[in-house]
Structure 1
């Protein structure tokens, strides 16, 4: 478990699911400027920032090439890290093909699996959320294919102009940004990330479970001392979580 001590007056921020690049570069640019403005605002009192996946609608790192665009976001992230504020990144199902660029160029640690953090003696279990919990066996099989080194090697042989455009087309066409299940609360007994969190609590206590992926802002008490928070998205809700060292709250950026 990684331990973080927030300096006096500093906070921890959490955000996910920007899907930059979708549905078009033009529409995405509006959301990107809003997100960059938020980053510019929170850097005044941020002690640490967690980006919990799907910052991009598609991301693939060739050995010498990364997808075009997002320079305002990448530049702002670099500025924040260079100022001394750590940022942690969790890959999502749309940007799981990260392989060193964020670490080498931005000095941002990247996690491909959920991680445990202790912030000011409060325990957090943090992850994007895809592939966790019961059901969704079809996606879990698909994820194994995408994570397979041979599949990544094969895709790398496609010219970036073809590979990136093809991947972006299927991502938007298949409505992977936000499906019908992501805009409707299913109930605690059917919310699969809630069920996953409750199962984790059977073996170890966490004060907070932080996930993205669902695109729906949610705050659910799992027990009297443990809470599940879904961060929503930066497509429809523009929500994020903030921890002031004692309390965690879900907020909306206006």
Structure 2
């Protein structure tokens, strides 16, 4: 895709709407909607890289209550013709058609490659990639197991959603407190994952969320790893203007 003159590509991740409660996250949601209102003025494409919600579960005819401001704004932007791409995170991985059917937003469960203005982007949420993190990888296999999801759906939504929200906030293995600490470049498992991917094929930009830290790390002379940060502590986002990628803080 060639970005039209005057247009940009925007990236955001890790809003965790609903945490620690809907009321507490409402100011953050309003700020995110304000950001969407701002970037729609010159957006060619918008990428949302997961954990938009702190918990999301789609039953056959039920989705979690709330988030109407965000969902309505996404619908408005999508209806206006601006493409939005959504990558599921470890908190909202139980998506199963709602975004596609109601918002016309494609949903990806694995990293995907895109090319804009001759630059190659490798994009994903980032959870479970690279070496280590074996405990979470085992947990993810349970969460994504079709039989386990089938069992969970037998819980009444009032019980299932409340239970999952509680665990999402309280359980460090799920809520990811450790993902907010910089480990050092040599120990950053997403950085190591990107370096391994470069051995197979060149990409110009590796863009991820999940780590909750705004990071820009050169992988070599021609490739860059970017972590978008979050909308809890940093309110950071990525923007590509056709030639350069930048991390910015909304409101500054």
Q: Report the TM-score range of the alignment, normalised by the length of the smaller protein.
A: over 0.9
- Identify the match of residue 94 of structure 2 among 91, 94, 97: 97
1:26 pairs with 2:42: no
Question: How many angstroms apart in 2 are the aligned matches of 1:150 and 1:18?
Answer: 29
TM-score for both structures, normalised by structure 1: 0.97
**Preserved CA contact (<8 Å) 1:11 1:46:** yes
Compute the displacement of 1:184 (Å): 2.2
Question: How many angstroms apart in 2 are the aligned matches of 1:165 and 1:194?
Answer: 35
* Stretches of 4+ aligned residues off by more than 2 angstroms: 175-178, 181-184
**Preserved CA contact (<8 Å) 1:178 1:215:** no
**Preserved CA contact (<8 Å) 1:183 1:215:** yes
TM-score for both structures, normalised by structure 2: 0.98
Compute the displacement of 1:8 (Å): 1.0
1:15 pairs with 2:6: no
Post-superposition Cα deviations, 1:39-89, rounded to whole Å, max 9, x if no partner, equal 000000000000000000000000000000000000000000011100000
- Identify the match of residue 162 of structure 1 among 148, 159, 162: 159
1:82 pairs with 2:79: yes
Once the two structures are superposed, the pairs formed by residues 47-196 of structure 1 within 5 Å of their partners are 47-175=44-172, 176-179=174-177, 181-196=178-193
Root-mean-square deviation over aligned CA pairs: 0.7
Unaligned 5+ segments in structure 2 are none
Unaligned 5+ segments in structure 1 are none
1:5 pairs with 2:40: no
